[in-house]
Amino acid sequence: MKILLDPQTFNEQKFGGISRYHTEVFQELKNTADVAIVCPIVYSDNLHLKEAGLFQNFRNAIFSLPVWPKFLSKKVSKIYKKKNISRTVKLLKQQDFDLFIPTYYSPYFLESLGQKPFVLTVYDMIHEVLPQYFTRDKHTVPNKKMLMEKATKIIAISESTKNDIVRIYPHIDENKIEVVYLSYSLNNDKKVNLNLPEKYILFVGNRNDYKNFAFFLKAVTPLLLADKDLFLVCAGGNPFTAKDQKLIAELDVAEKLIQRNFEDNELASYYSEAKCFVFPSEYEGFGIPVLEAMACGCPVVLANHSSFPEVAGEAGVYFELDNPEDLKNKITGLLENETLRQHYVQKSLEQAQKFSWKKTADESLKIFRSVVS
**Predicted local distance difference test score (pLDDT) of residue 23:** 96
**Predicted local distance difference test score (pLDDT) of residue 61:** 45
Arithmetic mean of pLDDT, 61-69? 50
Nearest to 46 by CA among 56, 38, 36: 56
**Predicted local distance difference test score (pLDDT) of residue 37:** 96
| Domain ranges for the chain | 2-183+356-372, 199-352
DSSP 216-265: HHHHHHHHHHH-TTEEEEEESS-SPPHHHHHHHHHHT-GGGEEEE---HH
Please give the model's pTM, rounded to 2 decimal places.
0.93
Phi, psi (5° rounding) for residue 67? -70, -15
**Predicted local distance difference test score (pLDDT) of residue 192:** 87
- 64: pLDDT strictly greater than 60: no
The answer to whether the beta carbons of residues 299 and 334 sit under 8 Å apart is yes
**What fold is seen in the domain 199-352?**
Rossmann fold (3.40.50)
Distance CA 373, CA 371 (A): 6
Q: What is the pLDDT of residues 145-166, one digit of tens each?
A: 999 999 999 999 999 999 999 9
- 333: pLDDT strictly greater than 70: yes
Give Cα 215 distance to the centre of its chain.
Answer: 21
pLDDT over 90 percentage in the chain:
84
Distance CA 317, CA 372 (A): 42
Distance CA 178, CA 158 (A): 9
Average pLDDT, the chain: 93
- What CATH number has the domain spanning 2-183+356-372? 3.40.50.2000
The answer to whether the beta carbons of residues 287 and 352 sit under 8 Å apart is no
Q: What is the pLDDT of residues 215-268, one digit of tens each?
A: 999 999 999 999 999 999 999 999 999 999 999 999 999 999 999 998 888 999
**Predicted local distance difference test score (pLDDT) of residue 62:** 41
